[in-house]
Structures are given as C-alpha cells and as structure tokens.
Chain A
Amino acid sequence: MKFFKKLSFSWYFFITTIIIMLVILIISPSSFNSSLFKFLDLLVKIIPFLIIVFILMFLANYFITPKIVKKYLLNKNKGLKWFFAVIFGIISTGPIYMWYPFLADLKPKGIKEGMIATFLYARAIKPALIPLMIYYFGLFYTILFTIFIIIFSLIQGSIINKMEVEK
C-alpha cells in the first residue's frame, strides 16, 4: 500500500494507459498489435529528441542561470525577446510534450508564461514539412498559414502574460 501511496499522478496516468491497452488486447487483439507497433515506432522516433532535450536541459542548467536570464531574456528589449521565442519555437523539433520539462525548467529562471505559450504556438510551423504543405495546399496557402501562426503566437503570448499580470 505504501508503494501506491508514493506513486505520483504521472505514474497513475501511465498505468491507466497500460490498462487501456490490456482492455484493447482482450476486445480486439489486432487493434492491440497495431497500437503496439505504432507505439514502438513513435518511441524509436522520440528517443533522439529526448537526447536533444536532455542536452538542452543540461546546457540550460549549466549556462542559463537566473542572472543570465535577467540579463538577456528579461532585458528591456522586448521585441528581441519575443522574436527569439518565435524563432526557437519554429526551429524546435520533435513532439510538443518532449519540450514541457525543458520549459518548466526555465520558469523558475524567470521566463514568463506568455513566452512559453508563444514558443509552443510557433511550433505549429514545421520548416521541414513546408514542401509537403505546399504540395498539398499550395504556396499561397502555406505562406498565409505561416504568417498567421506567427502573428497569433505573439497574440497568445501577450494575452497569457496579461492574464498573469491581472491575476
């Protein structure tokens, strides 16, 4: 019983997904097999990103001290700060949830929630997939899509910052 009391929500969540998989195994073994293969396929693709995230977290821990954050990211040049949040969001790769620990790590260092939101929203632009998007939807549509994502990533960031301030 003590063991279960020590378990965090994240472990309960993981155990629940395993139980769902077991239920699928009983109801539809073919769906179970397909889900399992997709899971393993995703896992193989995710591992390199986990390594990248580990390296970034290590670098952030080592170099981005609260002092440095204050100096560069909390400086008076607001435009540059937002510009970097958008650019980092666009160039960051891998599944969105791989970035949560890294971003959570930056919070105590003074990064505002709005900038995190901007970063996460700007991730909707995938430079590597732009040719595919042009192929499916055309060049003009892709340009519009990209411009609106950038604009709304900044709008979302400023709304969340304002909500934070009002709170």
Chain B
Amino acid sequence: MNRGIINSAYRAAKGIFNALPLLLGVTLLISIVITLVPTNTLISFFGKDMFLNTLIGAVLGSILAGNPINSYVIAGELISFNIGIIAVTAFLISWVTVGIVQLPAEIMILGKKFAIKRNLLSFVFSIIIAVLIYLILFLGGLI
C-alpha cells in the first residue's frame, strides 16, 4: 500500500486520539449543563430592561452549549414570556458562536490567544448583530 496513505491515516488517527479526552470531557460537561439548567431557570434571569436583557441573553448563550435546536426551543419560550427579540437574538447567536464550555478544548487545540480573541469578538458581535436586527425589524414596523 502507498506509504503516503498509511502515514496520512496514522496522522489523522493520532490527531483524533489526542483530542479524544478533551472531546469526551466537553461532551460530558455539556450534558451536565443541559441537565442542571432547565428552561424555567433561564427565564428567571431576565428582567424588564431591554439592554440588560440583551447582555444576559448573550452571556447565557455563551455559557450554554449543545444542539442549536435546543437554543431555538428555549428562544421560543423566551419570546412567549415577552423577553424582547433583541435579547433572544443575542442569545441565539452567542449560543452558536461563543463556547465557554468548549473553551478549554479550543485553547488546547487551536491556541490560547486565538481562542480568547475569537470568543470575545463573537460575544461582542452577538450583541451588535442583535441590535442591528432589532433596528431593522423596528424601523420596518415588524415589531
């Protein structure tokens, strides 16, 4: 068999094996967070201040992790409890772009500086995008 194929397969397997304890650890941590923080608890974090809610939405979305479907379901619940679209958007975006739970894995594999820069920027962007979407919907008379 071609030596290049064996080498490539070995390097790929080694890469996966080295990342395995981190990947399993992150998966376990996500399972714990999903179990210990139910939707009702999340709703209780929000108040009536729109901008504070946006910040809370972005923070919660950053801490929580898992399938984006869960974020849609939780966001749907938040809307039904009259939590504004701006906070819900910040929550949805930070859920998929910021990863506090995955941060140790990202730091280990992609580098500390890169991981911190990327997550910080993503956090700020989740708020900026939420404000922009809110403004467009508001000015368009859709909310």
Contacts and interface: CB of A to CB of B under 8 A. Distances in A.
A96 B23 CA distance: 10
Interface string B112-143: 00100110011001001100110011000010
Interface in B59-102: 66, 68-69, 72, 75-76, 85, 89, 92-93, 96-97, 99, 102
B55 interface: no
A34 interface: yes
Interface in A12-64: 13-14, 16-18, 20-21, 24, 31, 34-36, 38-39, 42-43, 46, 50, 53-55, 57-62
Interface string A96-116: 111011111101000001001
Contacts of B114: 113, 116-117, 160
B118 A156 contact: yes
B7 A101 contact: no
A101 B15 contact: yes
B30 interface: yes
Contacts of B22: 10, 13-14, 97
Interface residues of A, number: 67
Given A10-B19, A57-B16, A144-B133, A100 B105 contact: yes
Contacts of B96: 123-124, 126
B42 interface: no
B122 A121 contact: yes
Given A36-B31, A54-B12, A96-B99, A126 B68 contact: yes
Which has the most chain B C-beta neighbours within 10 Å: A54, A97, A140? A97
Give the dominant DSSP class at A's interface: helix
Interface of A: 8-11, 13-14, 16-18, 20-21, 24, 31, 34-36, 38-39, 42-43, 46, 50, 53-55, 57-62, 95-98, 100-105, 107, 113, 116-117, 120-121, 123-124, 126, 129, 132-133, 136-137, 140-141, 144-145, 148-149, 152, 155-156, 159-160, 163
28 contacts: A10-B108, A13-B25, A17-B25, A17-B29, A20-B28, A20-B29, A21-B28, A24-B36, A42-B27, A50-B23, A55-B12, A61-B8, A61-B11, A62-B5, A97-B22, A97-B23, A100-B106, A101-B15, A117-B121, A120-B118, A121-B125, A132-B72, A136-B76, A140-B137, A148-B132, A149-B129, A156-B125, A160-B117
Interface of B: 4-5, 7-9, 11-13, 15-16, 18-19, 21-32, 34-36, 66, 68-69, 72, 75-76, 85, 89, 92-93, 96-97, 99, 102, 104-106, 108-110, 114, 117-118, 121-122, 125, 128-129, 132-133, 136-137, 142
